[in-house]
């Protein structure tokens, strides 16, 4: 089974252009399934629906959350779809199964004052402090995934209209934009660079800064800023989308900027903004917040 897993992961890397983190999640899920299959002493090429039900029960016994079970099933189903498409098996046994309904978890985002604390924690008196600030500015300004930012090259940046060409999931290109704050730091960063690396963000070896490296840097910035919250790079993407919607940007534009194939993936952010929309309505509508029976109104 190891050989087939390696072939599938190579397919995800070289043909689907999935990020390092996504590949790591797929690998973890498939190795977990492989371990279970081997314990049951059956061939992974010969499993049937009853075996899958036992696997479900096993994950329940392990106290996995619905979201975790759903993710693992999705990873394994995609793996078997790949096997069937390449004639390693005749039928995908997972094609008729569905994972449990996911718990609805709203995306976590940062308030603007929290973002300011992160920005201010970067030392602009030294090169890597400028790089760290640019990392934050670009992620928040564009809504890019860290895996996408990792692959951005200097030549992908259009300084005439403050845009960046991004290669997203499935090798799909899109254009994202950044504002004056990010442009100011970008100009400062490019002026300070003295290397020939084609990628925008570099590490201390003057090589491409990886997504893992970006997460490590963000952890250090959060610690330096003394924020009492766990911050991931994806929270900057969530903050980008949430703040755009809060300021009146339409959902389809946010979908395009995020690179979502389905509007459903973008709609989750509307739940985050509902409370604020209610406040705006009550404060703005002429008949939104009048107390019936108020003596002053009689």
d(CA 139, CA 232): 11
Query: How many C-beta atoms surround the C-beta of residue 55 within 10 A?
Result: 21
- Sequence-separated (6 or more) residues with CB below 8 Å from residue 81: 92, 94, 95
Please give the structure tokens belonging to residue 248.
């009146």
End-to-end CA distance of the chain: 79
Please give the structure tokens belonging to residue 37.
């299959």
Q: What are the two backbone dihedrals, phi and then psi, of residue 204, each rounded to the nearest 5 degrees? A: -70, -10
Q: Are residues 269 and 258 in contact, defined by beta-carbon separation less than 8 angstroms?
A: no
Active site residues: 145, 169, 234, 237, 260, 269
Bridge partners (DSSP) of residue 174 are: 166
Q: Which of 242, 234, 240 is nearest to 215 (CA)?
A: 234
d(CA 165, CA 240): 18
Q: Are residues 105 and 269 in contact, defined by beta-carbon separation less than 8 angstroms?
A: no
Q: Which of 51, 34, 32, 38 is nearest to 94 (CA)?
A: 51
Residue where the block lists tokens 């390696």 = 6
Q: Are residues 214 and 150 in contact, defined by beta-carbon separation less than 8 angstroms?
A: yes
- Sequence-separated (6 or more) residues with CB below 8 Å from residue 178: 137, 138, 141, 142, 162, 163, 164, 186
d(CA 113, CA 142): 18
């Amino acid at each position: 089974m190891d050989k087939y897993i390696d072939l599938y992961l190579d397919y995800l890397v070289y043909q689907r252009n999935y990020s390092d983190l996504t590949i790591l999640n797929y690998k973890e899920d498939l190795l977990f399934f492989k371990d279970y299959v081997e314990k049951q002493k059956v061939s992974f090429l010969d499993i049937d629906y009853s075996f899958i039900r036992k696997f479900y029960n096993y994950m329940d016994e392990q106290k996995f959350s619905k979201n975790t079970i759903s993710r693992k099933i999705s990873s394994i189903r995609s793996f078997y779809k790949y096997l069937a498409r390449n004639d390693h098996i005749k039928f995908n046994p997972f094609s008729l199964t569905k994972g449990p309904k996911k718990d609805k978890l709203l995306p976590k985002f940062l308030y603007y004052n929290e973002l300011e604390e992160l920005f201010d924690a970067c030392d602009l008196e030294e090169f890597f402090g400028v790089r760290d600030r640019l990392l934050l500015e670009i992620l928040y300004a564009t809504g890019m995934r860290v895996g996408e930012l990792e692959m951005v090259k200097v030549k992908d940046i259009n300084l005439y209209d403050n845009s960046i060409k991004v290669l997203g999931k499935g090798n799909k290109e899109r254009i994202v934009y950044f504002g004056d704050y990010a442009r100011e730091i970008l100009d400062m960063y490019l002026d300070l660079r003295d290397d020939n690396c084609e990628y925008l963000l570099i590490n201390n070896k003057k090589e491409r800064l990886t997504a893992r490296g970006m997460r490590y840097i963000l952890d250090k910035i959060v610690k330096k800023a003394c924020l009492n919250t766990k911050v991931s790079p994806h929270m900057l993407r969530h903050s980008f989308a949430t703040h755009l919607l809060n300021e009146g940007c339409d959902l389809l534009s946010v979908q395009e900027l995020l690179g979502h194939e389905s509007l459903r993936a973008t709609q989750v952010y509307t739940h985050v903004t509902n409370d604020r929309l209610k406040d705006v309505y009550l404060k703005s509508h002429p008949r939104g917040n009048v107390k019936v029976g108020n003596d002053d109104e009689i």
